[in-house]
Amino acid sequence: MKPFLTIILCLGAILAAILPTQAYSAVTAQVNCDIDQDSIEETVFILGNRRARVTLSSNGRTKKVNFFKRYPASKWVPSCADENDDDKLDLILTNTNNNRTKEFFFFQGDTDLTGCGSVRSWPGNLIYKTIGSSHFSSGDPRRNAVNVIAEWGYRGFDSCIEVLAANGERLGQMGYYGSWSGGPYRWYGPTGCGNLGISGASLASRARREAGSSNIYVKIGNICYGPIDSSRCLGSRSC
């Protein structure tokens, strides 16, 4: 009986180890992370380069992430970290061809940024400014207002772009103003659909009241870029 029981126990252990993988088809990548923070790591499976699934060890529930495009495993490596300071692990995909290119995804139910198709790090061809350019007249509402400027090479457009606090709370929006000599798009806090005729310092205060942090995300289309510090210019030499 003892040898028989030993065999049964060994088979049970083997099945327990392999069943999570067999539960999913088209596994293209995976990473071990303690998603539910119970000191037991779960395996996050990337399926078909388009979505992620993980079964929590604490309660057996499945959490998921749906990507808005394909992320080939040959170029994108998964990992986990808390990217929005909410004390919950998020899924990160890092481009192996350029380690500075990372995209962040939140498991459903873990954040209020559910309206974002994906969350990406701030790209080098987007500029965030806490105030307008010095050549604006003092009476121009753009002079003392936040704005985002796209340089040539940036792709993605929306006539209204949203500004979100670190917890996903909507802080306001900026309106499209037109192209400029260095790029295709400009959005200003007080123009068009915009309702953010305030400086970066004021926006940072608003963000801190909402989420306890001056960090924000800028949503263009279905992509949220950030987090960035709303009190500081990014990519600009003029402020």
194 and 137 share a domain? yes
Share of the chain above pLDDT 70, in %: 85
Residue 109's pLDDT is what?
Answer: 56
pLDDT at 15 over 80: no
**What is the per-residue pLDDT across 97-122, written as a single tens digit (0 to 9) for each?**
876 677 777 776 555 676 788 888 89
Number of domains observed in the structure of the chain: 2
165 and 82 share a domain? no
User: Residue 155: what are its φ and ψ, rounded to 5°?
Assistant: -125, 130
Which has the closest alpha carbon to 168: 229, 215, 238, 99? 215
The answer to whether 118 and 108 have CB atoms below 8 angstroms apart is no
pLDDT at 5 over 60: no
Mean pLDDT of 132-150: 95
74 and 161 share a domain? no
Q: Which of 41-45, 67-71, 83-87 has the highest mean pLDDT?
A: 41-45
Residue 12 falls inside a structural domain: no
164 and 215 share a domain? yes
Last residue of a domain, one of 111, 142, 177: 111
101 and 135 share a domain? no
**What is the per-residue pLDDT across 159-176, written as a single tens digit (0 to 9) for each?**
999 999 988 889 999 999
Residue 239's pLDDT is what?
Answer: 75
Residue 18 falls inside a structural domain: no
Last residue of a domain, one of 111, 135, 169: 111
73 and 136 share a domain? no
> Domain of 154?
126-229
Residue 142 falls inside a structural domain: yes
165 and 217 share a domain? yes
Place of tokens 């289309």: 221
> Please, what is the average pLDDT of the chain?
85
List % helix, strand, coil for the chain (3-state, nearest 5).
15, 35, 50
**What is the per-residue pLDDT across 195-215, written as a single tens digit (0 to 9) for each?**
999 999 999 999 998 888 899
199 and 222 share a domain? yes
Question: What is the three-class DSSP state of 88?
Answer: coil
Cα 176 off chain centre by: 22
107 and 150 share a domain? no
Residue 14 falls inside a structural domain: no
Residue 219 falls inside a structural domain: yes
The DSSP H or E segment spanning 5 is helix 2-22
Question: What is the three-class DSSP state of 201?
Answer: helix
User: Residue 37: what are its φ and ψ, rounded to 5°?
Assistant: 55, 50
Residue 179 falls inside a structural domain: yes
166 and 196 share a domain? yes
99 and 135 share a domain? no
